[in-house]
Structure 1
Amino acid sequence: MLKLRGLLSVIIISVFISACTTNLERPTDVSYIEKTDLTWQQHLQQLKQIRSYASNGQLGYISPSERFSTRFEWHYKNPRAYTLRLSSTISSASLLIEMHEQGMTISDHKGRQRSERDAQMLLREVIGMDFPLNQFTYWLKGQPDENEDYKVGTNHLLATFSYPIEGQIWTADYLSYHEERQPALPKDILLKNQNQTLKIRVDSWTY
């Protein structure tokens, strides 16, 4: 059985105190516009057309049992084919999370691995994160669930959402965007529920 919790600490412990994990309070001075705004609706349609993409950046995570910050690389093809690599900035240590038809596999840079059909259980047991990776593909690119509660900012982009997943209320605040290309995609995101905080800084996008 793969024992990666100690390795995870090696990967991220030295970079936890970083810009990625500061300013973890939700913003309160945000103005919103109607969801029917034409510019937002056009942007939303553009997001829906991005079905396969990649991004990389920094990720900071806090829960009662875990605190870490790490580099990440995310590659998404479809709900049964995506990868998330967590890596150190000061060593070769890394973890690779792979979703495939048989379930999920988590492996390290030394070739040790563990696989399970229940992806959420594997994330909890190996890494200590209780996080909905299936929703992450939409959250990361700033595409809300249109049937749930979300708000659009005065920049005509997703500003925040709040909705339940498996008994927990998740909120997201989109603090800034990469607006140098269209459609504009998130740069800084703050994700929270009652027990977990995830701060994401996306450095680059490929789609």
Structure 2
Amino acid sequence: MNAKTFSAFSAPPPHWVVDAAFGAELAARLLKFVLEREPVFADTTIGNTANKFVRKSVRSSRATQDFGDLRAEVEARFRARLPAAISRLGLAPFALKGLSMELAAHGDGDFYHRHIDTFVASGPPRPDRILTGVYYFHATPCGFTGGDLRLHSLRSADDGGSHVDIAPKNDRLLLFPAWAPHEVRPVSCPDRDFGQSRFAINCWYLGKSV
């Protein structure tokens, strides 16, 4: 392996952080929306569509795919970022087949260990997850600490790899390739109040390379 290749595998993956991404007004409406729907949030799962299961030793949080009347507006915001994201992240152009989204809440002690967002198991053909977008929103003042999203290099830390931590700031959008290893660092929320959770929209851009 030459020095250039070693450096590429040892550096954190490409990523784009956008502050004031969707606007304070939409962030506030999203917060109001999730607080009104706390009962529909359920334990998050791991695995592919055909084989999902809860494993709290790997992923601990709650989520819902219910966006109500906000879905179209939220999808439009994510779609609007796609052309710039492809350019900034150096992605190959791809035909967008749709978006897959969930609202996630991380409370006290919640986390998600290192993983990737692409599915590698065999199964029927389907659009691939090409790009991951994470939009953060929360109550102000913030009632939790921790919860950074850590992006890992392809090489492990023991083999010369590195990482970068992205803080979950209100109205911040993070975009990165779906193949990038990442994790959600543990959250501390002493009040154990759902309204003080680390809220995020996880969005996967689905498509096929062209």
User: TM-score, length-normalised on structure 2?
Assistant: 0.27
The one of the two structures with greater contact order (alpha-carbon pairs below 8 A, sep at least 6) is 2
User: TM-score, length-normalised on structure 1?
Assistant: 0.27
From the two aligned structures, give the one with the greater strand fraction: 1
